[in-house]
Amino acid sequence: GRNQNEEQVRAYRIVAMLGLATGRRFTELLKTLEISKRGKKVTFKGLLKGNDKEIEGHIISLSYKEVKAFLGELRAFAQTEELSEQEVNAKYAKVFNNAMKRLGVTNVKATRQNYSVAGSKLFHREGETIEDTITRILGHKENLTSSLNYT
């Protein structure tokens, strides 16, 4: 099998990839995100920052099956099942952010920013402003200021 260092590097790459593909936050990827599919429609649940609703999930470049598999692998590696969201953050945020820098990504949050830029074009609906699209795909409550951080 892989050694521990190889597993860590793989986990860092998976976080970067899933962040770019789904736009989800670090702790959502490691712990809270639930992803499901009915027909062609993908939904994301378990979003943080007080958003307890289910949103339509938009995925870039990966298939639904790949996202599910990578989430499973990541969580098995990080063993976050018994940890609270705060514990996940305390245990892993710094380590993963430092690893992201080595992979050439500023930090985990940058993957969400990149996702929002690509997603604002890929998932734009007629009649929406770019801010509306970003608010919708990131799952923000009608909070323009947090969406503007991503433009």
In the predicted structure, residue 148 carries a pLDDT above the cut 70: no
What pLDDT sits at residue 136?
A: 93
pLDDT classification of 131: cutoffs 50, 70, 90: very high
Exposure letters 12-41 (e unless 16+ CB within 10 A, then b): bebbbbbbbbbbbbbbbbbbbbebeeeeee
Task: Label residue 124 exposed, middle or buried (CB < 10 Å: 0-12, 13-18, 19+).
Answer: middle
What percent of the chain is modeled with pLDDT above 70?
A: 91
The per-residue pLDDT for range 76-118, each reduced to its tens digit, is 999 999 999 999 999 999 998 888 888 777 888 899 999 999 9
Average pLDDT rounded to a whole number, residues 1-11: 84
Q: What is the pLDDT of residues 35-64, one digit of tens each?
A: 999 999 999 999 998 777 899 999 999 999
Q: Which pLDDT score, from 0 to 100, does residue 49 have?
A: 83
Q: Which pLDDT score, from 0 to 100, does residue 51 have?
A: 72
pLDDT of residue 109: 87
pTM: 0.88
Mean pLDDT of the 16-24 span:
95
Cα distance between residue 111 and residue 62, in whole Å: 15
